[in-house]
Amino acid sequence: MSYPSTVSPSDRTQLPAAPRRPRAWRWIVVLAVVLVLHWIAAQWVERNREIFTSGNTSHVPVQITLLKPERIERKPASAAPRPAAAPVHKAAASKPREHALTATRAGPSAVAAASTPAADADAASEAANAAAAEAQAAASAANAASAAAAASGTGSAHAAAPEAASGVKFLVPPSGDLPYDTFYNGVRNQPGTIHWSSDGKTYDMVVSMPVPFIGTFSYSSHGHIDAFGLAPDQYIEKRGRRPEDVSIFNRTTRQIVFTRTPTSLPLTDAAQDRFSMVMQLASLVRGDPDAYKPGVTREFFVVDNDSGETWPIETIGDETIRTQHGFVTARHFMRLPRHPGDKRRIDVWLAPSLGWLPARLLQTEPNGTEIELVWGGPLSAPGSTANSAPGNASGNDDTQTSPDNSSSAATGATGATGATGATDNTTGSPVNGSPAAPAVPAAPSAPSPTTPPSALDNVPSAPEKP
């Protein structure tokens, strides 16, 4: 009796082997899911790391002072009228020569009076005294003119002094291509740069930061420096492959227009864009660091790519920032919430050892995205010897006035030398020995010395008559 369910050994050898490839694909799928879950968990931890480090954001001091936009201190050049003093001194130095020439004109009169040596000496002394008196009068007139010119220049400088002294101190940070390590939601990306340059009259700022899978984020601000500090003319924002968003500060019509929206805003004094505000703050702090203590808040009207609003920036205090090359002390500034539930803000750390340039920037978007820049260069200010603030013009004026003063002093010295030379030449005249005898040297050059010998030659003929 045979059982149909029984499988003979020969039948077992004929069964095909089960495929194992689907099991390998299952493991690959499981591994991919695990990696994705780990990546999501890492992103969540990075976005919510403030929960674990809440002590860094809880130390917000009480506001003690609120600073509004103010005019900055600017010192105009005051050395322009001073070069005019040099021609005055030169004219004064040439006048004694004219009087010396007029003194030589007394020679023909001496020819007519050659037979009277005493009268000749008296006439020469009188001419010398008259020439000396005229020379002294000319010198006093020249000194009075130079004093009047100096007084007028000083008066104009004092008249401009009140305008130059008014305003808060403002010193633009040194120019350079600033390297930064960039982080996007806590993940380190390729290095970024901040190009900053200023000559004291204009400025140019470009923030560039690459973002993976999106492209390069670029923020550009171009403008000039006016009575309130940095004055943007154009702000350009470009994120990845998106088109540029441009904000134009039209100072002719006093309007701010946008390419992203047809709306416009009135242009107020000291208005800034999102990144010129950082350098405006750095320039104010660099001009007067002691004025920004914990609790001091300064207001800025900041323009975005489609709107503008007032940002209260409060001084938090000095903190230590860890950079690629070590630790650096920086002063922390934070934008206070503008309204309940405000999640968009910017934190700035300015380091005195870097010329008060930003050591760290942290920008938080409304959706929670964080863009962070940390100083990646050496712990020294780029171009620390360069001074490009408008107030530095006064320092240049001080350095320029010394050549003017030295030139005027040199001119006076030459005039004094000329006068000394004139008196030295008169020391050989035995007439009166007074320092007022500059006209006597002209007497030997006159034809009067040649005429007396002819008169003396005629003297011996008188005794032959007897």
Checking if the pLDDT of 92 tops 70, the result is: no
Q: Are residues 154 and 181 in the same domain?
A: no
Q: Are residues 237 and 305 in the same domain?
A: yes
176 phi-psi bin (left φ>0, alpha ψ -120 to 50, beta other): left
CA distances from 23 to 27, 29, 31 (A): 7, 10, 13
The pTM (predicted TM-score) of the whole model is 0.57
Which of 137-151, 160-174, 337-351 is the most confident on average?
Answer: 337-351
Checking if the pLDDT of 35 tops 70, the result is: yes
Average pLDDT over residues 97-122: 48
How far apart CA 220 and CA 203 sit, in angstroms, is: 11
pLDDT at residue number 157: 43
Reported confidence tier of residue 353, pLDDT bands at 50, 70, 90? very high
Q: Domain boundary at 368, 395, 422, which?
A: 395
Looking at per-residue confidence, does 257 or 54 come out higher? 257
Checking if the pLDDT of 421 tops 60, the result is: no
Q: DSSP assignment, residue 83?
A: G
Report if residue 15 sits inside a domain: no
Q: Are residues 243 and 273 in the same domain?
A: yes
pLDDT at residue number 390: 44
Q: Are residues 120 and 189 in the same domain?
A: no
> Residues near 357 by Cβ (< 8 Å), separated by ≥ 6?
173, 174, 178, 196, 282, 350, 351, 375, 381, 382
Report if residue 218 sits inside a domain: yes
Report if residue 44 sits inside a domain: no
CA distances from 445 to 103, 112, 128, 129, 441 (A): 11, 16, 15, 19, 7
Checking if the pLDDT of 126 tops 80, the result is: no
The torsion defined by the Cα of 195, 196, 199 and 201, in degrees rounded to 10, comes to 110
Q: Domain boundary at 350, 372, 395, which?
A: 395
Which one, of 387, 389, 404, 390, lies nearest residue 79 by Cα? Answer: 404
Q: Are residues 218 and 365 in the same domain?
A: yes
Contact 165, 181 (CB under 8 A): no
Checking if the pLDDT of 356 tops 70, the result is: yes
Report the share of the chain in percent with pLDDT over 70: 55
Checking if the pLDDT of 46 tops 70, the result is: no
pLDDT at residue number 320: 95
Report if residue 423 sits inside a domain: no
Domain hosting 96: range is 90-103+116-166
Q: Are residues 139 and 213 in the same domain?
A: no
Q: Are residues 162 and 222 in the same domain?
A: no
Q: Domain boundary at 395, 419, 448, which?
A: 395
Q: Are residues 135 and 218 in the same domain?
A: no
Report if residue 440 sits inside a domain: no
Q: Are residues 125 and 185 in the same domain?
A: no
Q: Which residue shows structure tokens 């002394």?
A: 125
Q: Are residues 277 and 389 in the same domain?
A: yes
Checking if the pLDDT of 283 tops 90, the result is: yes
pLDDT at residue number 144: 57
Q: List, in sequence order, every residue forming a beta bridge with 180; answer none if it has no partner.
A: 192, 375
Q: How many domains, the chain? A: 2
Task: Look up residue 376 and give its two tokens.
Answer: 């990646």
Q: Which amino acid is at 40?
A: I
> Residues near 336 by Cβ (< 8 Å), separated by ≥ 6?
60, 297, 312, 313, 314
Mean per-residue pLDDT of the chain: 72
Report if residue 417 sits inside a domain: no
Report if residue 65 sits inside a domain: no
Q: Are residues 347 and 306 in the same domain?
A: yes
pLDDT tens by residue, 178-194: 999 998 888 888 999 99
Q: Are residues 257 and 213 in the same domain?
A: yes
pLDDT at residue number 289: 96
Indicate the burial class of 15 (C-beta count within 10 angstroms; 0-12, 13-18, 19 or more): exposed
Task: Look up residue 172 and give its two tokens.
Answer: 């633009």
CA distances from 316 to 76, 128, 313, 349, 360 (A): 35, 81, 9, 10, 14
Report if residue 262 sits inside a domain: yes
Looking at per-residue confidence, does 185 or 13 come out higher? 185
Q: DSSP assignment, residue 380?
A: S
